[in-house]
Amino acid sequence: MDSGNQNLWLGIGLAGQLLFGARFAVQWLYSEIKGKSRVPHAFWYLSVAAGTLLLAYAIHRDELPFIVGETVTLLIFLRNVQLIRKSS
């Protein structure tokens, strides 16, 4: 694999991890504003974005345990987004 393609996939994997971490910062700040523990809708949308990037990276790396884990969590994230949209 050429280094440009390798760097692209490394960037995708890192972006997924960054989004995954950002969702916790969003949840924490939202809870601080509300004065109690709460999960904002943005948490789930960031989860879907991060999960999609991490699943793509796992598939690219052809790592079955990572693929299975990301698929399961992405389905959970998508279900939460579906519930949010249904209740709106």
- Is residue 12 within 8 Å of 57, Cβ to Cβ? yes
Q: What is the pLDDT of residue 31?
A: 96
User: CA-CA distance, 76 to 20, in Å (whole number)?
Assistant: 14
Structure confidence at residue 3 (pLDDT): 82
Structure tokens at 88: 């709106």
Q: How many domains does the chain have?
A: 1
Q: Which domain holds residue 56?
A: 3-87
* pLDDT at residue 50 in the model: 97
CA–CA gap between residue 72 and residue 11 (Å, rounded): 23
Mean pLDDT by 10 residues, the chain (88 residues): 87 95 95 95 97 97 96 97 94
- What pLDDT score does 1 carry? 66
Dihedral of the CA atoms 33, 77, 46, 39 (nearest 10)?
A: 0
Q: Residue 9's pLDDT is what?
A: 94
Q: How far apart are CA 67 and CA 28, in angstroms?
A: 28
